[in-house]
Amino acid sequence: MYYPKISDMTSASSVPVGEELIVGGYSTEGGPGGGTFIYIPGASPVPEDEGIHFVKTGGYFKRLYTGVINASWFGAQGDGEDDSAHLQKAIDYCIAHNVNLHLDGNFTIKDSLVIKRKERCYHDYMTISGGGLYSDKEIPLFTVHTTEHVPVSQLIRFREVVFSGIPDVTTYVLDRNKYIRVSFDGCSFVGIRLLTSLYYLQSIYLINCEARNWKGVFLSTVNGCYDIKITHSLFEAGESFADLSAIGNADDPDEVHLVSNVSISNCVIEGLKGFGIKYKNTSSLSASFNYFEQNLGGDILGDGNTVLAQPNRGVSFIGNFHHFVGNNNHYPVTWGATLGGVSLSNNTNTNLNAFTTSVSDVFHANAATFDQDNSATRFGTDKIHFGNVLPSVNGGVVDYRDKIPVGSVIYNTDINTQNAHAGWICTAPGTYSTAQWKPFGTTRPLIENKGVSLDGSENLNQVHESGYYFPVLPGAWLNTGSNFPVQKRGTLRVYYVESAVTEDLVQTYTVIPTDATERTRTFSRTYFGNGAHWTAWKELAINQSGTTTGRPTGNVAGDAYFDTTLGMPVWWNGSTWVAAAPDAGASVKGLVRKAAAVANSAAQAAGTTPTKAEFDALLQELRNLKTALNAAGHIS
């Protein structure tokens, strides 16, 4: 049997028992939507709910359905008029009977809807799906009637619902922090914000959602949050996206929760007039594989001010892309005070990381930028810290961590004359002022042909910088300097020999010949910094003629040089040069022993028939012996 509307069915004088009754849609004066019913004689087991059960004298009508409850069954019409009361009836029925609600239309809300699913009373989700909800009032679409500032309703899933409002009107989807374990899957937010909480917020999930054209901050909490997951979603053309901070409870300033276990991944955050993500007082926060573009207030902003007097911790930014045109000095990511921070594998069209405070322990590599280095300042890890070193004689190290562990390494980015070590390693833990450091590094940087020259007027005792020093043109040679080995044009080379406690040097000076008759001469000396003592210049002489002329003078017994003609070292024995140990008697004995050996070889050769090659070899040995004896002054 068919009835045009619900009221026709319930007012009928007689109704067939056990027969399906078909009811049309909405009545012109409003009322529940139609459907299929059956009349059951006797008392109704439940009160009339104006949607599923309708009571009639002598019996009741029961709606026949499978699956979800439609909002229209409880009178919601989606005609632009206020459907708040009808939707509340539908929600109450779904909660009472543990069934899901389908929004089979776009409904207007003038009063907040209440979902009473108390925490720990339910163990499965209630789903509200499809259709849309719109409001032009400054209300949250969903609330809980309680004065408590803690989550009191839980396990609600919104699926493919369109939430919309007027951007200039402060409308939210959820009332502050009164909901927990709430997920939005495939939902759309247009001109409306998700929530603003002055209290602790927990377990809010957004998956495959989109939001646009809102004003203010889409998601905001000022007293910490836990377990916030946002992924595979699009947020664009709004104001600011997420402000996740912990600055204290409005009712209990001493109660402070951290921003913990927050993950924003694989999202597009684009074209915002404000910022993308702002955070403060974190214990774990991750933003990974997101696309940021043209957010005027910055993409990711870490606030260095903290009510807990400690830095942000556990902050990780990995695999994000930043196309930045904002007003934050062209650094889309700003780090506040941070410990245990990571920034890796990010990409940017400009600079990337800016550090607003020196209290930072952030490991990051340069982003895959198009054109330039994009590190604002310094970076490091818990054990390895790359940073600036004060250019001071004692090698003071700039490091701002509260406790620096043994093995921490500082790389010196400010090598200069007074501060030439490659870096420092921590040998005793402590703060910046109490930790002990040992410098390391092999040499000072070599300076080659960088305008460093000699004109003969220098005091070589004052030349300590490693490198080469070249003479100016001959006409400008002054010959008025001091501590030169000779007053002749030459090249000076200075070697820095590292010591943990002092500065040790080696200088070599090579005279430049002025004509073909002048031989090359090289001198060497050392400086022992611990005692501030220069040794005397020693000539590293090479006798190219094999004669006694032109050899070094002013020697003491034991001095030596290598004679290239003899092919061996020669020693000054106090009176002459000898090709043996620095003992004249020993030198003569050695030559005699050599002569005896040669004579013995000749005798052996005479008892046989030697070849021409053997005679030639013997003759050459005798010639070498004669040359050596002559050079030593033993024969003429």
pLDDT at position 405, please? 63
Which has more pLDDT, 35 or 183? Answer: 183
Q: What is the pLDDT of residue 66?
A: 85
pLDDT computed for residue 7 by the predictor = 84
* SS3 labels along 436-501: EEEEECCCCCCECCCCCEECCCCEHHHCCCCEEEEECCHHHCCCCCECCCCCCCEEEEEEEEECCC
More confident residue, 583 or 191: 191
Round to whole Å and give the CA distance between 102 and 79. Answer: 17
What residue ranges in 294-404 does DSSP mark as E strands? 300-302, 312-313, 315-318, 321-323, 333-335, 338-344, 347-348, 353-355, 360-364, 379-380, 384-387
At 255, is the pLDDT very low, low, confident or very high (cuts 50, 70, 90)? low
Look up residue 144 and give its two tokens: 């809980």
**Overall average pLDDT of the 540-560 stretch:** 58
* Contact present, 379 and 361 (Cβ < 8 Å): no
Q: What's the CA gap between 546 and 62, in Å, rounded?
A: 128
CB atoms within 10 A of CB 488: 17
Coil/strand/helix, residue 584: helix
Average pLDDT over residues 575-603: 55
Long-range contacts of 56-62 (CB under 8 A, 24+ apart): 56/10, 56/15, 59/15, 59/17, 61/9, 61/10, 61/15, 61/21, 61/37, 62/37, 62/38
The type of residue at 31 is G
Of 49-53, 102-106, 257-261, 466-470, the range with the highest mean pLDDT is 102-106
**What is the band of 581 on the pLDDT scale with cuts at 50, 70, 90?**
very low
pLDDT at 157 over 90: yes
Work out the average pLDDT over 419-436: 71
Q: Label residue 382 by pLDDT band (50, 70, 90).
A: very low
- The tens digit of pLDDT for each residue in 499-543 reads 545 678 888 999 888 877 776 788 888 888 766 789 888 877 555
Q: What is the pLDDT of residues 205-230, one digit of tens each?
A: 999 999 999 999 999 998 889 999 99
Question: Among candidates 68, 59, 56, which has minimal Cα distance to 18?
Answer: 59
The residues, any chain, with a CB within 8 Å of residue 90's CB and separated by 6 or more, are 51, 69, 70, 71, 73, 74, 76, 101
- Alpha-carbon span 90 to 103, nearest angstrom: 10
State the chain's mean pLDDT as an integer: 78
Of 27-31, 68-72, 120-124, which range is least confident?
Answer: 27-31
From the number of C-beta atoms within 10 Å of its C-beta (0-12, 13-18, 19+), residue 351 rates as buried
Split at pLDDT 50, 70, 90, the class of 578 is confident
pLDDT of the residue at 139: 96
Q: How far apart, in Å, are the Cα atoms of 19 and each of 11, 36, 38, 60?
A: 17, 10, 6, 13
For residues 23 and 357, which has the higher predicted lDDT (pLDDT)?
A: 23
Strands 225-231 and 259-265, bridge-based pairing:
parallel
The pLDDT score that the predictor gives to residue 358 is: 63
From the CB of residue 469, how many other CB atoms can be counted at a distance below 10 Å? 20
Residue 355, pLDDT > 80, answer: no
pLDDT of residue 277: 97
Is residue 59 pLDDT above 80, yes or no?
yes
Give the dihedral of Cα atoms 150, 152, 157, 158; nearest 10 deg: -70
Could you tell me the strand order of the sheet in which 172-174 lies? 113-114, 140-143, 172-174
Q: Which residue has the higher pLDDT, 77 or 249?
A: 77
Question: pLDDT at residue 349 above 70?
Answer: yes
DSSP labels, 220-270: EESB-EEEEEEES-EEESSSEEEEE-B---SS-TT----EEEEEEES-EEE
Residue/partner pairs of 622-629 with CB below 8 Å, 24 or more apart:
622/598, 625/591, 625/594, 625/595, 625/598, 627/546, 627/566, 628/566, 628/579, 628/591, 628/594, 629/591
Give me the amino acid identity at 324: F
What is the pLDDT at residue 338?
86
pLDDT bucket at 198, cuts 50 / 70 / 90: confident
pLDDT of residue 448: 44
Percent of the chain whose pLDDT exceeds 90: 31
**Mean per-residue pLDDT, 85-93:** 94
CB 119 within 8 A of CB 128: no
Amino acid residing at 367: A
Nearest to 352 by CA among 343, 361, 341: 343
Report which of 435, 434, 441 is spatially closest to residue 414, judged by C-alpha positions. Answer: 441
State the virtual CA torsion across 540, 544, 545, 549 in degrees, nearest 10: -20
Angle in degrees, 0-180, between the axes of helices 584-606 and 612-631, rounded to the nearest 10: 160
pLDDT for 428: 79
Task: Tally the C-alpha atoms within 13 A of residue 225's C-alpha that lie toward its C-beta.
Answer: 31
More confident site: 36 or 152: 36
Cβ proximity of 567 and 575 under 8 Å: no
Which is more confidently placed, 263 or 329? 263
φ, ψ dihedrals at 399, nearest 5°: -155, 125
Q: Return the sign of the alpha-carbon dihedral for residues 402, 407, 410, 416.
A: positive
> What is the C-alpha separation between 422 and 151, in angstroms, rounded?
56
Amino acid residing at 147: T
* Candidate from 38-47, 284-293, 372-381, 613-622 with smallest mean pLDDT: 372-381
**Looking at residue 589, what DSSP letter applies?**
H
Q: What is the DSSP letter of 282?
A: B
pLDDT tens digit sequence for 384-417: 444 433 333 334 444 444 456 667 777 666 665 5
Transcribe 69-103 into DSSP letters.
EEGGGGT---SSSB-HHHHHHHHHHHHHHT--EE-
Q: Given this model, what pLDDT does residue 376 score?
A: 41
d(CA 287, CA 300): 9
Of 311, 346, 348, 358, which Cα lies nearest the Cα of 328? 348
Report residue 584's pLDDT band, with 50, 70 and 90 as the boundaries: very low
Predicted local confidence at residue 625, as pLDDT: 72
Lowest mean per-residue pLDDT among 187-196, 313-322, 324-333, 382-391 = 382-391
The whole-angstrom separation of Cα 379 and Cα 219 is 31
CA 403 to chain centre: 20
Tracing tokens 């911790």 back to the chain, one arrives at 313
Q: What pLDDT, on the 0 to 100 scale, is given for residue 431?
A: 65
Distance CA 586, CA 96 (A): 117
Q: For the segment 111-140, what is each residue's pLDDT rounded down to a tens digit?
A: 999 998 875 555 678 999 999 999 999 999
| Alpha carbons 426 and 557: distance in angstroms, whole number | 48
Q: Is the pLDDT of residue 278 over 90?
A: yes
